[in-house]
Amino acid sequence: MASVLTRRLLLATPLTIVVLGGLGFYALLGRMQTGSYDPHAFANPLVGKAPPAFSLPGTAGQQGFSSTDLAAAGKPILVNFFASWCIPCVQEAPMLDQLSKSGLVIWGIAYQDKSDATAKFLADNGNPFQRLASDLDGRTAINWGVYGVPESFLINTKGVIIWHYAGALNDDVVTSGLLPALKHAS
């Protein structure tokens, strides 16, 4: 009797896993079709908190920065993680340049990038960064919960992360996310 029950359980377990996985996949497809699934909408646990402690050296001839610098700035700062080898980073470069020219302070963190590669990226795509730090080993990005580059974090005047976006900034993201968050950054 026990062996029949064990055999049924062994057969039912994989079937249950397959059915639940299929239902989850079906739900994801449904959300994608209705437009309610946003692959960039990663919830970052740091939103509403100060950034983790860090201190990074400058790169590409620019001054680095630390969590202390962010806390003491007294103005909203957009922190942008990027890399020279990142194609979406190239795509978002004109938007960052536009935001910088409009007066938004942007500090960059070059993720796992050598200084010469970062300098070439900036020469080719423009430099919107008032400060630029190097996260060569990627530890700071990991501590910030970065999933991949580009990712941007808006820090308010009190040094708290109030907005986060994973992916390349574009007109829609800036209009619907960043600009409303900036209104609450003071």
In this prediction, residue 14 has a pLDDT band, given cuts at 50, 70 and 90, of confident
Structure confidence by residue, pLDDT tens digits, 89-112: 999 999 999 999 999 999 999 999
3-state secondary structure at position 181: helix
Q: What's the alpha-carbon Rg for the chain, to the nearest Å?
A: 21
| Same domain assignment for residues 98 and 13 | no
Does residue 138 belong to any structural domain of this protein?
Answer: yes
Same domain for 172 and 102, yes or no, is: yes
**Residues in Cβ contact with 153 at an 8 Å cutoff, skipping those fewer than 6 apart:** 44, 46, 51, 78, 79, 144, 161, 163, 164
d(CA 41, CA 166): 7
Give the pair of three-digit tokens for residue 157.
Answer: 């005047």
Q: pLDDT tier at 26 (50, 70, 90 boundaries)? A: low
Mean pLDDT of 141-149: 95
- C-alpha distances in angstroms, 43 versus 36, 140, 158? 15, 18, 21
HSE toward the beta carbon, residue 176, CA cutoff 13 A: 7
Q: Percent of the chain at pLDDT above 90?
A: 74
For residue 49, tell me if it sits in a domain. no
126: alpha, beta or left? (left if phi > 0; alpha if psi -120 to 50): left
**What is the per-residue pLDDT for 15?**
73
pLDDT of residue 3: 74
> Are 177 and 119 members of one domain?
yes
Q: Is residue 46 part of a domain?
A: no
* Residue 68 sits in the same domain as residue 98: yes
Q: b or e along 69-90 (b: 16 or more beta carbons within 10 Å of the residue's beta carbon)?
A: bbeebeebbbbbbbbbebebbb
Tell me, yes or no, whether 76 and 25 share the same domain.
no
Range of the domain at 29: 1-37
Write out pLDDT tens, residues 46-70: 999 999 999 999 999 999 999 999 9
Number of domains in the chain: 2
Q: Which token pair is 138?
A: 């990627």
Confidence label for 24 from pLDDT (cuts 50, 70 and 90): low
Q: Are 155 and 79 in contact (CB under 8 A)?
A: yes
On whether residue 136 sits in a domain, the answer given is yes
Specify whether 116 is located in the same domain as 143.
Answer: yes
What pTM was computed for the model? 0.79
